[in-house]
A and B are shown apart, each in its own frame.
Chain A
Amino acid sequence: MAGGSGRPLTAGVRAERGRLLVSIAQLTPALAYFALFYVGPLLVLVYISFLTFRNFQFVEPLSFNNYANVVTSETFRVLFSRTVLLSLLSAVLAIAIAYPFTYIITFVFPGRSRSLYFLILVALFGGYLVRIYAWRTILGVEGVINGTLMTLGVIEEPIREILNGPFAVVVSMVNFLVPLAVLPIYAAMQNVSPGVIEAARDLGSSRLQVTRRVILPLVLPGVLVAFAFCFIAAAGDFAIPALLGGVESPFIGNQIQFQIGQTSNWPLAAAMATTLIALVVLIVAGVALVARRVIR
């Protein structure tokens, strides 16, 4: 751009600068909102996590005591590892379902991809708690599966193990995560041209090789975003383990809710939440790093 003839250039630069100012003005409400209701609350949360809980008050001095408590407690360690393991499993399963779905609607039935994607959007925005309730209805002791099996005479006693355990938690978690995983993978898959796949096939690659060498490297960013969304949503959940996990499988979220609801120990809850987000970010970054190395 440099060195053009004087006047039109300055006019252009001025117009560009004006456009930029308008853009910034238009972005201001969103940025202000973000600062007020996102950055502010999270900063306060981190601050609270360093306070001391005494006589149902949060008081200074600031210390790392809450974090020390979180890291050294055996109970909390069990909760953290269960949260991470079941969330990882759920996220991986959700992607394992969302990926072929996205592939199929993009390349096998491209004519119907719109309506099928539409269904996924509807599933995504429709009924988080209703879904949990539905799984309870289906898997419960007096639920649909047990009730129907007993009516049919297949079983005498209801099977108790299907609800209130890790199984029910993972099933309903995956059920809730699949649409969330489809979104970014679908967006990434739109960048893969069918021609590239055909070319690879014509050159003798197997279906597996095409996926591994052609499609996966191209959609990897989308898959990683999907993993982050799913893993984070699962690890921060407490309603699914509370309503479907029984007493055996609470997540760290349930403990956080307990500390706030029952003991009003906000500082400890804040420290647990901050530890959780740190752990989640580390794991997501680690997975992204490994995936980038392996898939290229």
Chain B
Amino acid sequence: MEQKENRKKEIIHFFGQLPVESLYTAGIAGERFLLGLKEGKFLANYCPDCDFVFLPPKLYCEFCFRELKEEDLKEIENKGILLSYTFTHIDTNGNRLENPIIVGVIKMNGTDTGFVHKLLNKIEDIEIGMEVEAVFAPKERRRGSINDIVGFQRID
């Protein structure tokens, strides 16, 4: 009987949060890239030792550890190939979404990286290997952010 009584006791826990806010510095290469997006341009850079083009650009090559020069940033064309895609049916809190968000990995022409962003086409119109281009937000709404690109769409 005593044991039963014990089991009825409330199990106590306490609610809490981690209230942390941060600033994130884009950095030298990051800032050039993001300001490029504001102008509707993609800026990439090249490691001559590895023959590798980075998008977004970096101030160093992670393969050979060579320093890459800020002045070597080059504009690349707004066109690429879709390497993979997914459509996600849950939001950032894990709740189900009525309309899934479609995300893709795009190898922009002239680069060796896979750029990750949203896709704007309908699911049935998306396939790996299709040619895509970025759709930029109207100029007055761009603020030097990855979201200056609304998403990528198929080029027919």
- Please say whether chains A and B are actual partners in one complex: no
- Listed in ascending order, the chain B residues whose CB lies under 8 Å from chain A are none
- Listed in ascending order, the chain A residues whose CB lies under 8 Å from chain B are none
